[in-house]
A and B are shown apart, each in its own frame.
Chain A
Amino acid sequence: MQVLTFLLKRFGWMIVTVWIVFTVSFFLMRQIPGGPFNGERVLSEAVRARLEARYNLDAPISEQYFTHLWNTVQLDFGPSFKMQDFTVNEVLAQGFPVSAALGILGMVFAISIGMTSGIVSAVRRNSAYDYSFMLLATLGIAIPNFVLAALLIVVFVFNLQMFPAAGWGDISQIILPAFCLGAPFAGYIARLTRTGMLEVLGNDYIRTAYAKGLSPRTVVLKHGLRGALLPVVSYLGPAIAGILTGSLVLERIFVIPGMGSHFIEAAIQRDYTLAMGALLTYTVLLFVMNTLVDLAYSIIDPRVQLE
């Protein structure tokens, strides 16, 4: 019941947020100089007028706004200006699963590598493991992912020839980009897990757990991990946003037909409808992820009340 009201409230806020994002970006985009039909080839007045009429660009701006808003409410983002013969919905339906797969795998890398090394570092504090993991974590955070991508391509594609350099469709093609995408987040998560775990392991209830005769493994994983997870879970919200922007760059480098390239090109080419569609998809995605994070938080810590 509590969860249901929480979700309803969140949904309401999401609608409001999406509407604000829609409005701001709608007007901002039309304020930027240039339009979808400004190109190297100068169009004659007649052709331009016909194009603008076809895409409803000759109507007053308020009318355009409300038409576009109404279509968006019906989940119809309209035709793409640049990729003719495709609707924005089709473009998104094709690109989104690709980006999602990349992002999810990147996140899986980040969480599994980050948490494991964080726990080991905390439990074996000041050991060689600790120092090397934390050094790697700092490197992971410090090295931009396009540099890491270039390094990995040199090593794994050209020297070891383990993976193909680019493209999409095969499992082997997703590993390198997903790793590059996840690396900085793995670094952050490792540091957060280590700090969280060290703090938790100093708690009285950990001593109680040892005094019960539980094995160190049970103490750390059953009694310690939950508390140590909390800072990591709070970080997942921003991390997901970071994964989204990170994948814009990596999709370029590894020639992955995801949403990232559409997003950038749509903005550059003033493909109003496509840019808007991509933006709103990201907004909803972020909102959903943050809601999931809050839910997870309340599941992990029974003292947290959902509001």
Chain B
Amino acid sequence: MLSSDKPILQVQDLQVEFHTDSGVVQAVNRVSFDLYPGETLGIVGESGSGKSVTNLTMMGLTPQPPGKVVGGSVMYDGQELLSLNQKQWQQVRGKKIAMIFQDPMTALNPFLTVEEQLVEVTILHMGLNRTEASQHAVDLLRRVGIPGAEKRIRDYPHQFSGGMRQRVMIAMAISCQPDILIADEPTTALDVTIQAQILELMKSMQEEFGTAIIFITHDLGVVANICDRVMVMYAGRKVELSTTMNIFRQPRHPYTVGLLNSAPRWDQGEDDLQAIDGQPPDLLDLPPGCAFHPRCPFVEDDCLQEIPELVSLDREMPHQHACLRDITTVKEDV
């Protein structure tokens, strides 16, 4: 679980803007968090909440233009990532920080064999020769549970099923034993049964290599299954960060409460599902004050005036949230 080690990644006040034709979007607005070795941090939020942009920025992959990192810092292992040049980034990507993408159908190159796509990483970062890299690739495929790995390695991505392709992606991501693995909704495009298998696989890989995982998702079931801590994002801001246990037991931001209420649970009937009122915010035209106030059941006048600062509660576990109300006292009425 949460170790007392130094964080392996420290994100401080990260600010990313997108300059579009209709205006400037604050995609990521002063987001800070730490990632500790071996832990799994979930990042939860709606589409457009800034979770994917946050993570692309940590890989130096925000499309620029229109994206622009305006401020903040991303420290990895004593190194400021945001000031790296192209060459230095290449030493980090795939080697220290690797990424798994949402849709395994499109994330693998259809024109190259799986082998070619696996070996190019290890030849590049681990200095293996072709034969060693091939052998290593077969081992990896076996480890991620692809039957007949020696033969399948010569196949092209279209000859694999979706779940198998995601296994290939995972094999590719862990091939250089990175310190950090960023998984951007890796199970969203898969069948539920396959989802469970992929999550199990990621857990076992994490145990084996001690990789820290950032898990982007909007599926709270997945969060409960795999994450040690959760960061909730809304309209580019961090609105709550705590341990998974705390988030589920005692959420302190109304948005988190809304997310929890809108997720199906085994101990509640379908009728108890409550959608969050209203629409996700228009990032070009954010509401004044707390961006969530138009949809918030606890809204009062000051919510429209003031952007809530993050409040840190230091109980047995650090818990941060950005809300002017203390909703734990009124929660039962909802």
Contact = CB atoms under 8 A, between A and B. Distances in A.
B228 interface: no
A91 B244 CA distance: 85
Nearest to A203: B106
B108 interface: yes
Interface in A146-160: none
A4 interface: no
A213 B101 contact: no
A213 B156 contact: no
Interface stretch (A6-14, A181-189, A297-305): A297-305
Contacts of B203: none
Chain B interface bracket (under 10, 10 to 19, 20 to 34, 35 or more): 20 to 34
A80 B106 CA distance: 59
A302 B172 contact: no
B120 A212 contact: yes
B109 A213 contact: no
A167 interface: no
B92 A210 contact: no
B290 interface: no
B163 to A, nearest CB: 17
A301 B124 CA distance: 25
B24 interface: no
A173 B93 CA distance: 52
B95 A213 contact: yes
B99 interface: yes
Contacts of A222: 112, 120
Given A204-B101, A302-B156, A303-B158, A211 B94 contact: yes
B87 to A, nearest CB: 8
Interface string B207-246: 0000000000000000000000000000000000000000
Contacts of B108: 205, 208
Interface in A188-217: 203-205, 207-216
A213 B103 contact: no
B125 interface: yes
A209 B61 contact: no
Contacts of A227: 110-111
Given A214-B90, A214-B124, A216-B86, A209 B158 contact: no
B244 to A, nearest CB: 27
A213 B94 contact: yes
Nearest to B89: A213
A210 B61 contact: yes
- Which residue among B61, B98, B109 has the maximum number of chain A CB atoms within 10 Å of its CB? B109
Contacts of B197: none
Contact of B93 (A204, A210, A218, A223): A210
B201 to A, nearest CB: 18
A30 interface: no
Nearest to A226: B111
A-side interface size class: 20 to 34
A300 B111 contact: yes
B59 interface: yes
A211 B178 CA distance: 12
Contacts of B169: 208
A212 B109 contact: no
B124 A213 contact: yes
Contacts of B158: 302-303
B312 interface: no
Nearest to A204: B106
A209 B94 CA distance: 9
Nearest to A216: B86
B106 A211 contact: no
A35 to B, nearest CB: 56
Nearest to B102: A204
Contacts of A303: 110, 156, 158
B156 A211 contact: no
Contacts of A204: 101, 103, 106-107
A212 B172 contact: yes
Contacts of B109: 205, 208-209, 223
Contacts of A203: 106
Contact of B94 (A212, A223, A226): A212
A264 to B, nearest CB: 43
B58 to A, nearest CB: 11
A205 B106 contact: yes
B157 to A, nearest CB: 9
Interface of A: 203-205, 207-216, 218, 222-223, 226-227, 300-303
11 contacts: A205-B108, A208-B99, A208-B109, A208-B169, A212-B93, A214-B90, A214-B94, A214-B124, A215-B86, A223-B112, A302-B158
Given A205-B110, A208-B99, A209-B109, 5 more contacts: A208-B169, A213-B91, A213-B124, A226-B112, A227-B110
